[in-house]
A and B are shown apart, each in its own frame.
Chain A
Amino acid sequence: MSDSPALADVIAVACAEAWRGDGEIFASGMGVMQMLGARLARATFEPDLMVSDGEAFYVAGDLPIGGTNKTIEGWIPFRSVFDTLAGGRRHVMMGASQIDKYGNSNIANIGPWAKPKAQLLGVRGGPGNTVNNATSFFIPKHQSSVFVPTVDMVSGVGYDRAKKIGGFIAKRHDLRRIVTNLAVLDFATPDNAMRLVSVHPGVNVSDVVANTGFDLVIPADVPVSRAPTAEEMDAIGRIDPKGLRHREIPS
């Protein structure tokens, strides 16, 4: 292994770390890096996780991304996904086109909902995900047009809104971490405002601040995101042999 790991590999590990300690739940990744993270966590430090092929099956072993030679260990059609998330036995890592200080996220549209400047996907499962199961995010380009003071449409519920609902939802609301091309962030602050957890190798705290459209909580000491271990690099090679991660995050 070279002394400086590729950024995409550092990010894959940072994504995998989102699921540390989750045990026997559905680790669901929406996108290449998210899927790699879930499978990497399962292949190394979190062996009881369930991962899917992205279609309708739970798969055992290290299925490469896009691989078709599956060992199916269970069936997870969309209806079962909805049941599983409502039961709380899932931690999903999604994308976001916008996200704010308390983790309200948007994949639906840019500009006013009534007549958007850019129609995106629609809210999809974001509202249900964020009030029912743990949710993390991977954002491939950290910039202030994504990290915004206010999102244009709340497709994923943030901490301020979850607290307003109160009760069951406020008690269990769990936005775990955000991994970007610059840094790892979370909401482990007294009022659940977004906090900088670590910066990737070669990134300065000031780079993150300059590319975030609101004030982050920045601890006195911000560590550098850790490099993959040799075992993790082996697993990354098995799960993403074609190097699809490098297309998302060029070195």
Chain B
Amino acid sequence: MSQTRSKVITEDQAIATIESGMTIGIGGWGSRRKPMSLVRALLRSNVTDLTVVSYGGPDVGLLCAAGKVRRLVYGFVSLDSIALEPHFRAARQAGTIAEPVEYDEGMLQWGLYAGSLRLPFLPTRAGLGSGVMDVNPSLKTVKSPYADGEELLAVPAIRLDAAFVHMNRADSRGNAQYLGPDMYFDDLFLGACEPGRRFVSAEKIIATEDLLKEGTFHTLRINRAMVDGVIHAPNGAHFTTCEPDYGRDEAFQKAYVDAARDADSWKAFSDRFLSGDESSYQSAVTAWRAEVAAAKEASK
């Protein structure tokens, strides 16, 4: 029997393939199941001038804070339990995102889906008549060739140079599994991406024959032909949700938001949590939790 090929690599090996100026799609939704360990590795790199495509959460916030985003394709940026993302707000209000591309959430899905089907566009009603078209004159409409003759918005295909998604389980070949309530649009991010830089991080890497011990076959929506690199990333979505492995770290998310209030506190936060590699991040979070628990105990 021939040997199967393992695609297991590290976050830094994945990020080493990323070049400045690329278009990067990031899976998850808001502050939910974001591939944060890959985002943190990207923050450590010298890569800049990126186009980022995301149902945005702290991934977008952190990349904006690091000045890596030239163009942002988004429907929203939110931390869910905290509605507004502070770094994204600051970047938009300072005008530092050179080219914001604001879409309706469904338009973003359509753009990724068109990209994954290699179609030039997909038609939709979402966006018609709205400010999305006022602020983006490059968006075009298309007339139905059938008797109805309806004018529809032609959402242009989004093609990605790289895609990052975070899953609950994967095998070493890239078959990946989500065990939470929603896959979001992770399959479309992988589908819209050129082969070569389609990266899946996972809480656990397990044997192929164990995948169905974790969940029903319905959870196997990412197959290995959609994936080039697999990264073992326990707690890799922190501080976003990764149900059912863990929920959102609300206290840490709040600390993240509080730290964004001024340059000094953000520098202190970055120095403490974001200056080292992923294992330093995870240790710093563990130490922070112990401190918070001790402080709570002491104040009783």
Interface residues of A (CB under 8 A from B): 55-57, 75, 77-79, 82, 85-86, 106, 108-109, 113-128, 130-132, 153-157, 161-162, 164-165, 167-169
Contact = CB atoms under 8 A, between A and B. Distances in A.
A164 B129 CA distance: 8
B95 A114 contact: yes
B104 interface: yes
B84 interface: yes
Contact of A154 (B92, B106, B129): B129
B190 to A, nearest CB: 15
A58 B52 CA distance: 32
B145 interface: no
Interface string B185-207: 10000000000000000000000
Contacts of A106: 131
Contacts of A169: 125, 128-129
Contact of A168 (B75, B94, B103, B150): B150
Nearest to A132: B125
Given A128-B107, A161-B130, 5 more contacts: A86-B126, A126-B130, A127-B132, A128-B106, A168-B148
Contact of A123 (B84, B130, B150): B130
Given A79-B109, A79-B185, A119-B89, A126 B134 contact: no
B59 to A, nearest CB: 14
Interface residues of B, number: 41
Given A124-B76, A153-B135, A157-B129, A167 B106 contact: no
B214 interface: no
Contacts of B74: 122
Contacts of B128: 127, 131, 157, 165, 169
B29 interface: yes
Nearest to B181: A56
B93 A127 contact: no
Interface string B119-139: 000001111111110110000
A243 B16 CA distance: 52
B163 interface: no
Contacts of B181: 55-57, 75, 77
B88 interface: yes
B104 A128 contact: yes
Given A125-B75, A154-B130, A82 B109 contact: yes
Contacts of B106: 82, 85-86, 125, 128
The listed residue with most A CB atoms (<10 A of its CB), out of B92, B106, B124, B184, is: B106
A124 B105 contact: yes
A163 to B, nearest CB: 9
A121 B216 CA distance: 35
A115 B78 CA distance: 18
A121 B78 contact: yes
